[in-house]
Chain A
Amino acid sequence: MTPPAEAAAVRAAPPERGWPVLRTTAGDAELTDRLLAPIGTTARWWWILFALSGALTLLYVALIGYTVARGIGTWGNDIPVAWAFGIINFVWWIGIGHAGTFISAFLLLLNQKWRASVNRLAEAMTIFALVNAGIFPILHLGRPWFAYWLVPYPSALGVWPNFLSSLPWDVAAVTTYFTVSLVFWYLGLVPDLATARDRLSGTWRRRVYGILALGWRGTATEWRRYHVAYGLLAGLAAPLVVSVHSVVSLDFAIAQLPGWHSTIFPPYFVVGAIYSGLAMVLVLVIPVRHVFGLQDVITERHLQCTAKLLLAMGLMLAYSYGVEQFSAWYSGDVYERYAFLAARPRGPYAWAFWATLALNLVTPQLFWWERWRRSLPALFTAGVLVLVGMWLERFLIIVASLNRDFLPSSWHLYAPTWVDLGILAGSLGLFALLILLFLRFVPLVALSEVKQLRHELARERP
């Protein structure tokens, strides 16, 4: 039971700076119980979604098996378009991952209070997106069973990976990113796992959470060092957000292919990544807060802030597109000019070009107006549109650049096969499956942080 004074204070807290970060009137205990409630949910909607995403995941597994058994020729790739869906999906998924780290690390460093309610879900999204992102670069290899040759290990062959190539950089970047994100996520989870251990019923559950909680008790010492380590990890994860997609962009930028060979790529890719990630956050958070009735913990404030970030990223992306076209024109290079000024707007993939512009640049302009930032359907739809747009952007960068390069004699069109489409759908299924499992087994909001935030807000009042 909480002293009425505090609760009253919270209730009375005026909506300063637009909208409150928390609107809950519940005491710590009640809040804890509400936030732990989704664990072990057996709602029908959960089982239905679980079945659907499970089926897609099985399709994923089957098609991966088919690809490995028959060969990469089952995909639509050709010469010159030697990279296509595999790499598009890789870049798309890894980009989605960025928002999680962005929210949890950057906002922590910037001391943004609204981070507390959404960071757990966002980080989970990061990790699950990275699982998908990790599959594609291996699967798209001609001989995936030799993927480990990209790692420097002393082998009988006596040869090593080639660190002049950006692909080993990729391996390093993605592995690091995944590991650090996982550690960061788990460290943030430890106090909540302890809460779950102490609060949930069921011997087995308590045992499992007990083990995962490592024996956390919440002593002053633990909290003190926890915050030191957590802050350090945030400080280390923040540059990763920038570096990982920069390295991914180098997979293209170090090649001299018109449409790839550009210095704008690293920032351009990072912005695009966070952009798509924020879109995915909206797509996940809006239904989740609804089904679990968390409107008072994940408030309009969070959605508003995300919408504003989306707008900001959209504008930066517009700038990147502009610079790309300008430098192509300004270079006076016949190949660059053709790729950007002729092939993209008027070539065989013009539809993708214009669709990308429409989805990525027009959509966020809604959020100049508060009424749209407050409209849940608008936010959700915008999220979906941006996700599609960002996938198409990668399609454009990869396929539309490759299919018409230097020598017109080697130009050739690209078309995906049913296997390509099935694998893309399968990856979405796996992602959804992991999110569903996360909702069912992991505290989806950072309990201790929300409680702490609540008391800080209470203290802040005049």
Chain B
Amino acid sequence: MSRGPHGTARDARDEARGDAPAPLQLAEFATGDELRAAVERLRALGYRDVEAYSPYPVPGVAEALGRGRGGIPLVTLLGGLAGAAIGYGVQWYTQAWSYPLNIGGRPSNAVPAFIPATFEATVLCAALAAFLALLAGLRLPRLWHPELGVPGFERATVDRFWVRVGGRDRRAADVALTRRELEGLGAVRVVEVA
């Protein structure tokens, strides 16, 4: 499932070997610090497909999981450049090329006058690009995920912290072992997602 943006080459090879994906297990923690510790430990233990859930960003977690910016800045930059080109292009085309008129004796390609609209177009396109890049990268909107069905998981957006392992992760294939390790990390409880 949410392998999406952070699958690794190893996952691909596992897939190639045709191993069945490991069952998903969710562990609930009480505090952000415990969550960070748990995540770091799981990575150390060699779990590859780990995801953390928190009501607010817990410092260190994303780093521990090696999450990147997903190319959003680049997309934004490109959006901005495109906006600038469109903004000035439209003005030049309409005033200086398509239908030039003598307006107050001003030149048709009035560069200074074209700056404000160009700037606004730049900002608009850049902002929309950033927003869409975010949604696209996160595969949003996607209203349903299996975790959302887990009783108690709704507190993940309120005051509880969860970790998920499983999926294309050979290490998580041994359900019992994984469960033990999660409990060993101080999870309040561990749930297997059907």
In the bound complex, residues from chain B placing their C-beta under 8 Å from that of A455 are 32, 56
Question: What 9 A-B pairs come out closest when comparing CB atoms?
Answer: A28-B159, A160-B94, A214-B141, A198-B154, A452-B56, A223-B57, A172-B120, A229-B134, A169-B116
Q: How far is the CA of A179 from the CA of B83 in the complex (A)?
A: 14
Segment from A121-129, A235-243, A358-366, A416-424 that makes contact with B: A235-243
13 A-B residue pairs with Cβ-Cβ distance under 8 Å, sorted by A, are A160-B94, A162-B95, A173-B120, A180-B127, A195-B157, A214-B143, A215-B144, A224-B67, A226-B57, A228-B134, A229-B72, A229-B134, A451-B159
Sorting the interface of chain A by its residue count into under 10, 10 to 19, 20 to 34 or 35 or more gives: 35 or more
Bound Cα distance A123, B155 (Å): 27
Which chain A residue lies CB-closest to B104? A164
Contacts of B103 in A (CB 8 A): 162, 164
Interface residue? B17 (CB, 8 A): no
Contact with B along A138-182 (1 / 0, CB 8 A): 000000000000001000001111111010110011011001100
Alpha-carbon gap, A180 to B130, bound state (A)? 11
B interface majority secondary structure = helix
Residues of the B chain whose Cβ atoms lie less than 8 Å from the Cβ of A197: 157
User: Do A240 and B123 touch (CB < 8 A)?
Assistant: yes
Interface mask (A175-194 → B, CB under 8 Å = 1, otherwise 0): 11001100110010001001
Tell me whether B81 is interfacial, beta carbon within 8 Å: no
User: From residue 64 to 112 of chain B, which have CB atoms closer than 8 A to chain A?
Assistant: 65, 67-70, 72-73, 76, 87, 90-91, 94-95, 98-99, 103-104, 106, 110
Residues of B within 8 A of A28 (CB): 55, 158-159
B158/A160 in contact, CB under 8 A:
no
Assess the A210–B143 pair: CB atoms within 8 A: yes
A291 → chain B closest CB, angstroms? 24
Contact of B6 among A6, A184, A221 (CB under 8 A): A221
Contact between B113 and A217, CB atoms less than 8 A apart: no
Check if B143 sits within 8 Å of A225, measured CB to CB: no
CB pair B72–A232 under 8 Å, yes or no, is yes
Question: What is the predominant secondary structure among interface residues of chain A facing chain B?
Answer: helix
B46 neighbours in A (Cβ, 8 Å): none
Q: How far is the CB of A161 from chain B (nearest CB, A)?
A: 7
B7 within 8 A of A: no
- Complex interface: chain B residues within 8 A of A166 (CB): 116
Question: Do the beta carbons of B158 and A250 come within 8 Å of each other?
Answer: no
Chain A positions within 8 Å of B104 at CB level: 164
- Mask of A294-330 contacts with B, CB within 8 angstroms, 1/0: 0000000000000000000000000000000000000
| A169 x B134 contact (CB < 8 A) | no
- Chain B residue numbers with a CB within 8 Å of A227 are 57
- The answer to whether the Cβ of A3 comes within 8 Å of any Cβ in the partner chain is yes
> Is A54 close to B, CB under 8 A?
no
Interface size on B, residues (CB 8 A): 68
A226-B134 contact given A3-B31, A220-B52, CB 8 Å threshold = yes
Q: How far is the CB of B5 from chain A (nearest CB, A)?
A: 7
B51 interface residue, CB < 8 Å from A?
A: yes
B126 contacts A by Cβ under 8 Å: yes
CB-defined contacts of A176 to chain B, threshold 8 Å: 120-121, 123-124, 127
Note all chain A residues with C-beta closer than 8 A to B31: 3, 6
A330 and B98 CA atoms in complex are apart in Å by 44
Note all chain A residues with C-beta closer than 8 A to B55.
28, 32, 191, 195, 218, 447-448, 451
Nearest residue (CB) in A for B90 is A152
A28-B159, A215-B140 as given contacts; A172 in contact with B116, CB under 8 Å: yes
User: Is B37 located at the chain interface by the 8 A CB criterion?
Assistant: no
**A152–B87 CA distance with the chains assembled, in angstroms:** 11
CA distance in complex: A175, B134 (Å): 22
Is A99 positioned at the interface, with any CB of B under 8 Å from its CB?
A: no
Task: Report how far A146 CA is from B52 CA in the complex, Å.
Answer: 54
Within 8 Å by CB of B62, from A152, A210, A224, lies A224
Q: Does B47 contact A (CB under 8 A)?
A: no
Query: Within 8 Å CB of B5, what residues of A?
Result: 221
Best-surrounded residue of B76, B87, B114 (most CB of chain A within 10 A): B76
* A232–B130 CB distance below 8 A: yes
Whole-angstrom distance between the alpha carbons of A173 and B116 in the complex? 8
A52 at the interface (CB under 8 A from B): no
> What's the minimum C-beta distance from A37 to chain B, rounded to whole angstroms?
14
Instruction: Tell me whether A199 is interfacial, beta carbon within 8 Å.
Output: yes
Indicate whether A449 reaches chain B with its CB closer than 8 angstroms. Answer: yes
The one of B52, B94, B127 that contacts A219, using a Cβ cutoff of 8 Å:
B52
Q: A226-B134, A232-B76 are in contact. List 4 more A-B contacts (CB 8 A).
A: A28-B55, A195-B157, A198-B157, A225-B70
